[in-house]
Amino acid sequence: MPILRELPANDQDWPGDLMDPDDVPRPIAAFGIIGFTNGIELAPHRHRKAQLLLAPRGVLTCEAESGLWLVPPNCALWIPAETLHSLKVSGTVDGYNAFIDPAVAAILPAHCCTVSATPLLTALLMRAASLPQLYPEDGPDARLVTVLLDEIAAAPEERLHLPMPTDARLRRLVALMMADPGQRGTMEQWAKRVGMSERTLARLLSRETGMSFGQWRQQLTILLALQRMAEGAPVQQVALDLGYESASSFVTMFRKALGSPPAQYMARQRSAEPLRNP
């Protein structure tokens, strides 16, 4: 598969004589997308094959299985076969995709997740994107694909998932909070904004996400903070943008949630940033 400069409008519009990845009769069909300057936004869709996505440049978000996943440049997104999902990548985009046949995906996660993209996993995915569409089913290319599958299976999951409710009022609440994340109103104030009582909000959110209002808002805050920091915003500015009175209170929350302060977390992630394809 090639490095693409534009995405096909539909399954019939793959460039030249290339096949839709779902139809490629190989364990993996991989390709790269380079230099998309206006981002990418794909409406809900599904594939016969599972999908692994890595965006070394651009911030990837995916909604699937009643959840929202944020995928920083140092991570990859795993989407099982036949999972309905929508995708958005903001900013200038470089990315790599691997479509994996269900027959070889049995050892891979059965649920959507964000996984750490080690330098080896990244290099293997980039190399797979340059393989011929119908690479030989034995020999070096096939062995590379086998190692890539092993690396995906071994990749640790990251806690970058936000359960998403389906109730219309809660979806409106989500939209309001994401549009104005610096608004640190109380649960009662947010409940009134979407026309329900505090008690109803707490009950519905717990039923649909398994989280309390405070837990859910904190996870949303973490995802938004990681998105901003991945785009280069300093911790002080991120804390202010997200409604914290001081950077120290934001750092304390972040450390408790992810095990290390923001600067250390991002430094560790950047040290494993993937190589750019020449």
Tell me 240's DSSP state.
H
| Residues 136, 190 share a domain | no
In contact, 105 and 50? CB cutoff 8 Å: yes
Which helix (H) or strand (E) segment is 251 a member of? helix 247-258
Task: Look at residue 51 and tell me if it is in a domain.
Answer: yes
pLDDT at 277 over 60: no
Task: Look at residue 277 and tell me if it is in a domain.
Answer: no
Q: Over the stretch 29-82, which tens digit does the pLDDT of each residue have? A: 998 887 776 667 888 999 999 999 998 877 788 898 778 888 877 789 999 999
pLDDT of 195 reads 93
| Residues 168, 147 share a domain | no
Q: Over the stretch 100-143, which tens digit does the pLDDT of each residue have? A: 999 998 888 888 999 988 889 999 999 999 999 899 999 999 99
Which helix (H) or strand (E) segment is 79 a member of? strand 75-79
Radius of gyration of the chain from its Cα atoms, rounded to whole angstroms: 20
pLDDT of 10 reads 53
Where a domain ends, among 131, 152, 173?
A: 152
Task: Look at residue 23 and tell me if it is in a domain.
Answer: yes
Task: Look at residue 273 and tell me if it is in a domain.
Answer: no
Distance CA 77, CA 93 (A): 15
| Residues 168, 137 share a domain | no
Helices (H) and strands (E) in the chain, counts: 9, 10
CA 251 vs CA 191, 220, 238, 255: distances in Å:
27, 15, 10, 6
CATH number at residue 199: 1.10.10.60
Task: Look at residue 227 and tell me if it is in a domain.
Answer: yes
Domain holding 15, by residue range, is 2-152
CATH number at residue 148: 2.60.120.280
| Residues 6, 129 share a domain | yes
3-state secondary structure 125-192: HHHHCCCCCCCCCCCHHHHHHHHHHHHHHHCCEECCEEECCCCHHHHHHHHHHHHCCCCCCCHHHHHH
Task: Look at residue 276 and tell me if it is in a domain.
Answer: no
Task: Look at residue 6 and tell me if it is in a domain.
Answer: yes
| Residues 147, 168 share a domain | no
Global pTM reads 0.77
| Residues 196, 133 share a domain | no
CA 98-102-107 angle, to 5 degrees, is: 90
Q: Say how many C-beta atoms besides its own lie within 10 A of residue 31's C-beta.
A: 22
Task: Look at residue 57 and tell me if it is in a domain.
Answer: yes
Where a domain ends, among 152, 175, 200?
A: 152
In contact, 112 and 159? CB cutoff 8 Å: no
pLDDT of 269 reads 64
| Residues 130, 102 share a domain | yes
| Residues 90, 36 share a domain | yes
Residue 54: which of 103, 124, 101 has the closest Cα?
Answer: 124
Residue 94 pairs in a beta bridge with 57
- For residue 83, what pLDDT band results from cuts at 50, 70 and 90? very high
| Residues 240, 202 share a domain | yes
| Residues 33, 138 share a domain | yes
Q: Which amino acid is at 211?
A: M
pLDDT of 3 reads 61
Q: How many domains does the chain have?
A: 2
| Residues 236, 195 share a domain | yes
Residue 226: which of 186, 193, 263 has the closest Cα?
Answer: 263
Residues 6 or more apart in contact with residue 108 via CB below 8 angstroms: 50, 78, 80, 100, 149, 152, 153
Where a domain ends, among 127, 152, 177?
A: 152
pLDDT of 252 reads 94
| Residues 195, 90 share a domain | no
